[in-house]
Structure 1
Amino acid sequence: MEKRFRVWTYKEGEPPLFHKGPMADIYCIEGHLIDELESGNSPFSVRHPDEALAFFLPVSILNIIVFVYRPYTNFFRSRLQNVVKDYIDTVSTKYPYWNRSSGADHFLVSCHDWAPDVSAAHPDLYKHFIRVLCNANSSEGFKPSEGCREASYNRSIFAFFAGGAHGYVRKQLFSFWKGKADEIQVHEYLPKPLNYAQLMHQSKFCLCPSGHEVASPRVVESIVFSKFSVHIPVAKIPQLKKILQGISEDEYTEMQKQVLQVQRHFSLNRPAKPYDILHMVMHSVWLRRLNRRLPPLHNA
């Protein structure tokens, strides 16, 4: 992949909506990838579009939300959708690359849970487009796999979660466990001066319930801080403590070893290193590009 896969980033647009994203946020992957590809140090970047096998739209979904929607006047996604559509209209008018492939060799990266909605208003426009999202909603085209609760070894806190009451699963978790047991620390938002990362480090089990979307950045955080995962169905949230206590030390140790093998794929390095999270994002785009035949060209 490193020898062959090359990406060209469109230059149109001005920060902060384009060419700039969060660098120290739970949704910071989009910012770091934008910066990585535009820094001039990435082995995947090329200076001329004719050298590229894929084309990157340097759009920051999170910055659109921060700078366009705040203070929040409404939650309609049309503004977000129009910003991205207008950007595509601009680059597809100026360059031949989007139109010659119907967007099949173009991609956008975002971790925010609003990102899947970008294509909702114009499905034909995004029919072939590559979306790299932290999203596992089957209604939005993702093939589901098991959710998880992350864990690690020799921690002083048995189970921990802190976050907003977004979605059905978290409300179920709060109703059964918020403030109910010292061994299972469930907070709607973490009270000061407690430190979120420190508590995750100290926790044997880091709970990762889905919010508005099936995915959660806590899964990645927990893999980085922790060692293994256990799936607990929503219907069994009341039995959460009993299920986790029932895991044997042998099973616990074996699962630690398994996740340690993939932990490096969730580590963020700058500059990026082979097999880290930025390289795995590029690998996903590379595979998608290899496995997708470009639509035939149409005569103007």
Structure 2
Amino acid sequence: MKLMDGNKKFVVRDPKKAHLFYIPFSSLKLRNALHEPNFASQKDLENHLKNYVDTVARKYRFWNRTKGADHFFVACHDWAIRFTRNNLGSCIRVLCNSNIARGFKIGKDVSLPVTYIRSGENPSKDLGGIHPSKRPILAFFAGGMHGYVRPILLQYWNNREPDMKIFGPMPRDIEGKARYREFMKSSRYCICAKGYEVHTPRVVESIYYECVPVIISDNYVPPFFDVLNWEAFALFILEKDIPNLRGILLSIPEEKYTVMQQRLKIVQQYFVWRKIPEKYDLFHMILHSVWYNRVLQVKP
């Protein structure tokens, strides 16, 4: 919000000149505000959201012009996709949970990259990793046992092969996080297995550390797919193929792996968040996706 508001290239003061309208919204803050004795159910959340939309519609005539089709909001909570589908379903929804089986609509909704802001002042710090020819680990994963996919991953590959470093949760202290990064920097492939929902920050982390992402998350729509060819630098493996994971990775020719790894360095710039935005960075890419979906909707 701050970066948009401070950039004259994106914000106009005359609403008649606007192509899109941003709706300030936080699914997490809404839940925290209403999680009181009198507001306990999802229905209460939806009703509160309806009142919010009704207020916007009464106060600003631009909502009624398109029924909200030229409005957009951002929501990264798992359940935002579910309880916005009715009251904000006509909007462009920028969602982390880009699950087409749960109602994510390609061509209208936008897949938001899930990532931590590493360092706004020095975003390039610690990017990259060991040269691809010297990475000793074939595949790496570490994380909590959320959902049904990750337990299956550990069942087949935990302590099975020396070049498959597949773990449960690692310590989240300074030493644990440093060890996690070193595993990524030393691995050829980083397993990005879904948790409770389809999205995981490991996808962007893999790109940061130039470890080819292996996305195991059926129904997941990756961010910026409208301009990026994800299959050129990432692998998509069906959940049912987890038992064959090592064989699939070993069957990839060295030349293909090298090219994919090199392409990670090219796309890396699109996933970096800067305190002062630069062309093609994460801030610009997200807004481009929103604009692009709006262009698709107004085509005759």
Partner of 1:237, secondary structure, is: helix
Shift of 1:67: 5.7
Which amino acid letter does the alignment assign opposite residue 141 of structure 1?
A: F
How many angstroms apart in 1 are the aligned matches of 2:142 and 2:184?
A: 10
Residue in structure 2 matching 1:283, options 281, 288, 295: 288
Partner of 1:262, secondary structure, is: helix
Compared with structure 1, are the counterparts of its residues 187 and 48 closer, same or farther at alpha carbon in structure 2 (3 Å cutoff)?
A: farther
Shift of 1:83: 4.2
Tell me the equivalent position of 1:194: 176
Compared with structure 1, are the counterparts of its residues 66 and 229 closer, same or farther at alpha carbon in structure 2 (3 Å cutoff)?
A: farther
Deviates more, 1:134-143 or 1:99-108: 134-143
Given that 1:163 and 1:189 are in contact with CA atoms closer than 8 Å, whether structure 2 keeps it comes out as: yes
Residue in structure 1 matching 2:188, options 194, 201, 204: 204
2:3 is the counterpart of 1:36: yes
Counterparts of 1:117-156 in structure 2, within 5 Å, are: 117-120=82-85, 122=86, 125-139=87-101, 140-143=103-106, 153=132, 154-156=134-136
In structure 2, stretches of 5+ residues that fail to align are 108-128, 213-232
Shift of 1:103: 0.2
Tell me the equivalent position of 1:297: none
Tell me the equivalent position of 2:225: none
Determine what percentage of the aligned residue pairs are the same residue: 39
2:13 is the counterpart of 1:51: no
How many angstroms apart in 2 are the aligned matches of 1:222 and 1:267?
A: 13
How many angstroms apart in 2 are the aligned matches of 1:174 and 1:46?
A: 51
2:271 is the counterpart of 1:260: no
Counterparts of 1:153-164 in structure 2, within 5 Å, are: 153=132, 154-164=134-144
How many angstroms apart in 2 are the aligned matches of 1:282 and 1:35?
A: 14
Residue in structure 2 matching 1:242, options 244, 247, 254: 247
Give the TM-score, by structure 2 length: 0.71
Compared with structure 1, are the counterparts of its residues 36 and 86 closer, same or farther at alpha carbon in structure 2 (3 Å cutoff)?
A: farther
Given that 2:81 and 2:104 are in contact with CA atoms closer than 8 Å, whether structure 1 keeps it comes out as: no
Tell me the equivalent position of 1:23: none
How many angstroms apart in 2 are the aligned matches of 1:181 and 1:273?
A: 43
Given that 1:41 and 1:271 are in contact with CA atoms closer than 8 Å, whether structure 2 keeps it comes out as: no
How many angstroms apart in 1 are the aligned matches of 2:143 and 2:4?
A: 32
Tell me the equivalent position of 2:224: none
Shift of 1:107: 0.3
Compared with structure 1, are the counterparts of its residues 85 and 156 closer, same or farther at alpha carbon in structure 2 (3 Å cutoff)?
A: farther
- Please list the CA deviations of residues 227-250 of structure 1 after superposition, one character each: whole Å capped at 9, or x if unmatched: 532222222212222322332321
Tell me the equivalent position of 2:60: 95
Given that 1:161 and 1:187 are in contact with CA atoms closer than 8 Å, whether structure 2 keeps it comes out as: yes
Tell me the equivalent position of 1:17: none
Tell me the equivalent position of 1:12: none
- Please list the CA deviations of residues 244-290 of structure 1 after superposition, one character each: whole Å capped at 9, or x if unmatched: 23323211112223343332222222222222222111111112222
What's the RMSD between the two structures over aligned residues?
A: 3.0
Shift of 1:56: 0.6
2:157 is the counterpart of 1:177: yes
How many angstroms apart in 1 are the aligned matches of 2:144 and 2:33?
A: 22
Shift of 1:44: 0.5
Give the TM-score, by structure 1 length: 0.71
Which amino acid letter does the alignment assign opposite residue 51 of structure 1?
A: K
Given that 1:165 and 1:171 are in contact with CA atoms closer than 8 Å, whether structure 2 keeps it comes out as: yes
Residue in structure 2 matching 1:109, options 57, 71, 74: 74
How many angstroms apart in 2 are the aligned matches of 1:197 and 1:114?
A: 29
Given that 2:142 and 2:166 are in contact with CA atoms closer than 8 Å, whether structure 1 keeps it comes out as: yes
Aligned residues: 249
